[in-house]
Structures are given as structure tokens and as C-alpha cells.
Structure 1
Amino acid sequence: MTKHTHNSRTFMGTSAVRRGLAGAVALLLAGAAAAPAVAARQGTGTATGARGSLVSVTPVASLDRAGVTRWLADHETDTGTVRQGVRAYRLTYRTLDAYGRPTTATGLFTLPAGGAHRLSLVSDTHGTMVARDYAPSVGDDFGRIPSYLYASSTGKAVAAPDYLGLGQGPGTHPYMDTASSVTATVDMLRAAREAGRRLGRPLTGDVYATGFSQGGQVAMALGKELRRGPAHGFRLRALAPVSGPYDLSGQEIPALFDGRVNPASGVVYTSYFLVAQNRLRPLYRDPAEAFRAPYADRVEALYDGRHTEEEIVTSLPGSVEELLTPAFAARMKHPTGALKAAIDANDGTCAWKPDVPVRLYAGESDTDVPIGNAHSCARRLGGAPVLDQGKVDHFGSFQKAAPEIARWFRGAARRS
């Protein structure tokens, strides 16, 4: 996202800044105070229709093989696995919000242009986005890289939810409310199943789950959810998250303060989390309790879904210590009460025993989500392999991992 030279910040171009934040670290995940909403989200319907039912299907892109190759190359992505063209659609579908109330969400549904009639499905969950227009179903930018790559390389359909409050969904995004992100993702799978039928490409029910950064954590939580039983009508076949923040209390939060996380990145992710979560539950009564002046007067307005990453970065200080009041910084370092309960409730993403192949991808030079997160997750899962992508930054871990995941998912399909 940013380059640091002698404590000064120089900013990359628009696409690079957007790309960096699209894979941003997930700091703190919502939890304890949302327990009633989590229970409500277990239902299968809403007041206006079944969860996952389609509201609309809108074509947004059609690329032949050469077009996919050019598009991915223009977005700094290895094209060696590309095999066919793609057709992409924006799905609007019914789901539940963070309180279990009926709402709608959008997502990108991408089909390979050829290949099998019946398709298995890749679920791809994206990283941090602050502006709704960057979401996969709306912005023709880095958020579409995984969908185009996996559809064109594996011959599978790809379902990529925008999450709540992004894309063309109503309201603001409840950033890092993992439960609602999983709900929106499961309902996107359901919507994709119906869209596949309408478009003449029915889905088999087999799901290959992946995601990057925040989306890596969501992918792990999705795998855990699908593993609970057949109620959703999908079968998890393989799981390949990239650089997810799986260990908040042991790795990610300490890394904000010990130098392992890029200071400027940490500012954006911390402020985004606190503002979004305070809309769901009272983390502070007044912004001045959490944020220093003059940032307390401006920070909440920055996260309305309309401001760009560039606008936010240039409106905030260069470190978490400059952003937070001393009392709130101390609270984050040593959480108690509701904050600790929320963190503990969401540190269980990797607390399950998969019976499908799992690979964790991460980069050893990642200064957004340190690789220790992946190693902690692997231990909790019971020994899943961590595929170290080497001395690459956060987005670099995705750039190296994505073609590997495409090859693995394609091979796994042939063996299943």
C-alpha cells in the first residue's frame, strides 16, 4: 500500500493502493455482542424470501481466452494457467444482515466459457475494501483477479461475494463481522446455484474454497461452516486460504505494536475495524475515547463506503500510536471484558479438524498479515501444510499463490 523512506510516506498509484488494501489484514473480528444475530443467521429464510434467492442476474463481462490473458497480465497476474474465456454476472440476492434482519447483497458469478456442462464451484472471498465500488461485482479491477483466473484456469464456476454493504448492497459494510461475511458467502453459493440453473450451467454442489487476507479468514470460517453438515447443500472438497489473520490474540494484534505490521497499513485497518464495529456494538461512546485529536472528529465519516483508500490514508496519521489514545492503545494490547470476549470468540476459525485437503499459503516478508498466523492455524487444524511463498509482501503472497491454487483445484477435481 505504501512505501516508507526515512519515516516519510510516498503513495503509489490508485490501482496499487487499491490492490494493497484489497488484501489488507483483518485486525479484530466481531463476536460476543453479536451472539443473538449469529443465532438468527442459522435460519433458511428471510421475511421477503429464502436466503440466497436471486433478485437479479446482470451480465458484466465477457472475455475470450486472449482477453482473459490480456486482462490478467494488465493486473500483474501470471497467465500461464489460463485455458479458456469467461462470462461474468452480478448477482443480487437475499441474505441477512449482521443482526439477522432481511437484506440484500451482491456478488460476482463467473463461468468458464467452455468445458463441462455441470460445474463444481470455487468460492473466493476478497480482502479489505473500504469503497463499495471496488467490490468484485462492480469494480473491473483487482477484486476480479481471482474470479477470472480460477474460472479460466480450472474450468469451474466462481462465486465471489461482495459482503454486506459493498458492491450494490444497502448500508455500510460491517467490517470484520465474520459471522455476517460467512452468511453472505453461503447465500452467495445458493444464489450461484440458482443462477447456474438459469444460465444453463448447473452446479454439482462441490465447493473449493479460497480467499485472500480478510477473505482468507472468511474462507477458513466458511470451510468450518460447510463442514458442520449437509444443511447448505454443498460439499467442501478442498480449502486453500492465502495470508489470513487466523490468530488475532497470539499474532496479529501484538504485531500491530511490535513492528511486524506496516504502521500506515495498521492505521487504516485499526480505524476501519473500530468504526465499523462501533456501529454494531458499543466499543466507545465518543470517538475521542478511542482516537486522538484531530482524527476523532473525522474518522467515522471516512468509512461511509464512498471514500477511497487514498483519501483515508492521507487523512490519518502514520502509526497506530498516533491514531489511538493511550488508554485505548493499552486496551488493545491487553484486552479485557467485551473486547477480549470478541477476540476470543473469533480466534476459533482454525479450531476444527477438516477431512478434506487443506493448504495454507503465506509469505515470510508479509508486513500486513505476518506468517505466524498461518503457522498458528496449521497447528490448530492438526498439521495442515503451510506453503511459504518466500520473501514477498502481502499482495505478493497472493500473486505467487493464486496460480498454484488454480493448478491444485484443477487437479483435485480430476481426482474427486
Structure 2
Amino acid sequence: MAVRVWMLVLVLALAACGKPPEIAAPAGVEIVPLKTYSRVESWFLLKMAGVEGVSAEHAVDTYRVTYETRPQDGEPVRASGLMALPRGVAAKRIVSFQHGTTTRREGVPSRLDVTGAAASILFAGNGYMLVAPDYLGLGDGPGVHGYYVAADHARAVTGLLAAARQLPQAPAGAVFLSGFSQGGHVSLAAMRQMETEGEAVFAAAPVAAALDIRHISLGAALEGGSPSHSLYLAYIAWGYAHHYGEPLDTALTPEYAAKVEALYGTPHSAQDIMEGLPADPREMFAPEFLDAFDGGGDHWLLARIAENGLTDWTPKAPVRLYYGAADRDVVPEEAIRAEERFRARGADVTAVNTGEVEHEGSMLAAAPMILAWLRELEGE
């Protein structure tokens, strides 16, 4: 009987959740109310997601934000992202969370996908203003998504931050950056841009971030240790070919160049894409690319991958690089080597082992650690 009563209370609580209050948008920005998560619903969703040791202290109001940003060396473009606010209290600080790889334009935070909902509950549910960009070429943004183009996605982050900071609900103070997988790379790209331009960052907490793809992750991925490696590599080749104006069939074989264009150029799930690509990633690549990679030669794709690396600068704010010891998608060496290189430059950077977990599990394990570190930095 007690279980039935509890389930009835839960169902009623979930059903009672509605839309957040309207927010007046500044010029050039559109803000659309999406959903309110009650504390009960937040608790339930965190438990279902497998995030342990975290609760939500506040109900959460979520919004889709459409704003304008300027890509590197380009004209202003529209972009979209998610914003979440704690209900009934002033936010303590802005947290910008950057999502991981998605092959679907709609699989983004502003559509309240799993990442968007979880990040909203984790951070806004504990008193922070949460913003989460969709990235250029995803969500409501036009064009092709330049997967792992550091500068463009850094500007998606800073553009959304600029829009959010115009609101009276926005707290003062430096932003806390976090993100998972591709989002870890985007987080440090944004940190580099902001600190280079003289803007302070509070701290950064990337999870499973590939920061030196050219010298670490590319070799590991070409060995095909993870079922996702062909998807990642084809995505980079496709995105870079479009972004930098290079022929895709000079990186991939003509057969796979055509197949990849069809898989990524029209909506396909990650599972569909993996089923359309070889288990051995090397089968996709043109001989001239493999010869350059194996022999230390030159190739446009290798050069572009190298220039989007993020270990040749010195972060000013503290950074923790969280990784899973059993991660095959982004090997632990990425965090460990990055820590060594950053520390050698005098930065306050620490690699944090989240345990014997694989790629997705590293984010679940890191989430309570990140929130605890943020609270520690706040002096709570």
C-alpha cells in the first residue's frame, strides 16, 4: 500500500510540472519557455540516469535561447542553446555545460535531450544558472556542423554567455565551464578564447576530453578499439572537408566519401551510421592519408586536426580533467598527457580518474565530483 501511495504521489508530482514563466528577451535574442522540473521529478530522473549522490535543492525552469554569434573569420550566424534557472532563488554563478557528440540536429540540449535535462537538474537544481550551447550547425543553427572545429564552437559558447548575461537573472562573476567528450574539447576551446581575450574563467571541468587528437586519439581510433571510432573519424573528416573547403575523397576512399556524405548529410542515428561504416576505420581512408599518417608525411586532414589541438597554451584558472580508466572511446592518456603538458607550463591542472568506467560511465561518475568541486571552490 505504501509503495502505491508513493508512486501515486510521484505521478501527480510529475504531471503537475508545467512551463516556466516568460522571460523578456534582449534585442536579437529569443527565449522560449520549455519545461519546469519539480524537485521530485529531478530526483527521479537523476536516479534513472544513474547519477548517484546528487539531489536537486530547487525546481528547475528551462528555456530555449536563440542568439547570434560570429564564427571565426565569418559573418554572424544564428545559434541555439539551453538555459536553466533555479526556481525561487537567485542563481549563484553561471555554469556553461558543453554536450558530447551527436549526429542528429535535434539531439541537443535546447531540445531537452538527456544531456540537456541532466545538466539542467544537476546545476540549476543546485542553485546555478545553466547554459548549454547546441553548437554551430546543430539545433536551430544553419549549415554543416564542423565537428571538432575548436574556434567556432568556442564562439557558440561565448555567444550564448553574452546573451544570458544581458538578463537580470544572470549572476555576476566568472563562468564555470564543464562538458563531456566533444564538449570537454569545446570547454577548453572556450576557456582559451576567453582568457586570451582577457575574460576571467572561474574553473573548468572537462570529462573524457580529447585534447590532442593528432598525437593521441587519432592513432588509438584508427586501431578501432571502440565501436564508435569509425563514426568519430568519419565525422571529423566530413566536417573538416566542408568547413575548410577540401575534397572529402582526398581523405576517404571514393566509396566511403560518398557513403559518409549520405550518412552525415541527412538525418541518421549514431547506430545507423555505425552500421554503415567498417569496424576497421582504416578501411575508410584513402591511401594517401594512411601513407601520410603511417610515414609522418603531410596531409590536409592531419594538419587541420593538429591545429585544433588544445594543449599548447597555459590555462589561468584551475582545470580538472576527469576520465574513465576503462574508456576506449577517449583513451585515458588524453587526460594524463594533457595534465603533464599543462603543468609543465605552470598551469593548475589535475587529471582525475573516475574509476574503472567506460566512456558514458565517466560522465555519470564525474557529475557528483564536479558539483562537489564547484561547491568547494565557492567556499560552501
Cα distance in structure 1, aligned partners of 2:144 and 2:306: 25
Unaligned runs of 5+ in 2: 1-25
TM-score under structure 1 length normalisation:
0.78
Question: Which position in structure 2 is the counterpart of 1:90?
Answer: 64
Q: Any idea what the Cα deviations from partners look like across 1:274-330, whole Å, max 9, x if unmatched?
A: 11111122443x63x443464333210211362221221222222202222333333
- Using a 3 Å threshold, how does the CA distance of structure 1 residues 99 and 304 change in structure 2: closer, same or farther? farther
Cα distance in structure 2, aligned partners of 1:218 and 1:126: 9
SS in 1 for 2:158: helix
Q: Any idea what the Cα deviations from partners look like across 1:61-120, whole Å, max 9, x if unmatched?
A: 1011111111222333235242221111000001124541121000000111133x2531
Cα distance in structure 2, aligned partners of 1:275 and 1:361: 28
- Using a 3 Å threshold, how does the CA distance of structure 1 residues 54 and 332 change in structure 2: closer, same or farther? farther
SS in 2 for 1:137: helix
User: Of 355, 365, 370, which residue of structure 2 is paired with 1:390?
Assistant: 355
Question: Which position in structure 2 is the counterpart of 1:253?
Answer: 218
- Using a 3 Å threshold, how does the CA distance of structure 1 residues 344 and 274 change in structure 2: closer, same or farther? closer
Question: Which structure carries more relative contact order (alpha carbon 8 Å, separation 6+)?
Answer: 1
Q: How many pairs does the alignment contain?
A: 350
Question: Which position in structure 1 is the counterpart of 2:235?
Answer: 272
Question: Which position in structure 1 is the counterpart of 2:332?
Answer: 371
Q: Any idea what the Cα deviations from partners look like across 1:356-407, whole Å, max 9, x if unmatched?
A: 2221101111101101111111112116221111211011111100111012
Counterpart residue identity of residue 82, structure 2: L
SS in 2 for 1:88: strand
Question: Which position in structure 2 is the counterpart of 1:46?
Answer: none
4+ long deviations beyond 6 Å:
none
Q: Any idea what the Cα deviations from partners look like across 1:180-234, whole Å, max 9, x if unmatched?
A: 000111001011112x32xxx132132111111111111112222222244xxx5
Question: Which position in structure 2 is the counterpart of 1:407?
Answer: 372
Counterpart residue identity of residue 214, structure 2: S
- Using a 3 Å threshold, how does the CA distance of structure 1 residues 204 and 319 change in structure 2: closer, same or farther? same
Contact 1:134 1:143 in 2 (8 A): no
Deviation at 1:54, TM superposition (A): 3.9
Matched, 1:187 2:159: yes
Unaligned runs of 5+ in 1: 1-51
Matched, 1:301 2:262: yes
The 5-angstrom pairing of residues 216-235 of structure 1 reads: 216-230=184-198, 235=200
Structure with greater Cα Rg: 2
Q: Any idea what the Cα deviations from partners look like across 1:143-180, whole Å, max 9, x if unmatched?
A: 43223212213x11011000011111122211111110
Deviation at 1:53, TM superposition (A): 5.9
- Using a 3 Å threshold, how does the CA distance of structure 1 residues 352 and 280 change in structure 2: closer, same or farther? closer
Question: Which position in structure 1 is the counterpart of 2:119?
Answer: 146
Q: CA RMSD in A?
A: 2.2
The 5-angstrom pairing of residues 96-115 of structure 1 reads: 96-97=70-71, 99-115=73-89
The 5-angstrom pairing of residues 9-88 of structure 1 reads: 54-78=28-52, 80-88=54-62
Question: Which position in structure 2 is the counterpart of 1:350?
Answer: 311
TM-score under structure 2 length normalisation:
0.85
Identity score, percent: 33
Question: Which position in structure 1 is the counterpart of 2:98?
Answer: 125
Question: Which position in structure 1 is the counterpart of 2:301?
Answer: 339
Counterpart residue identity of residue 341, structure 1: A
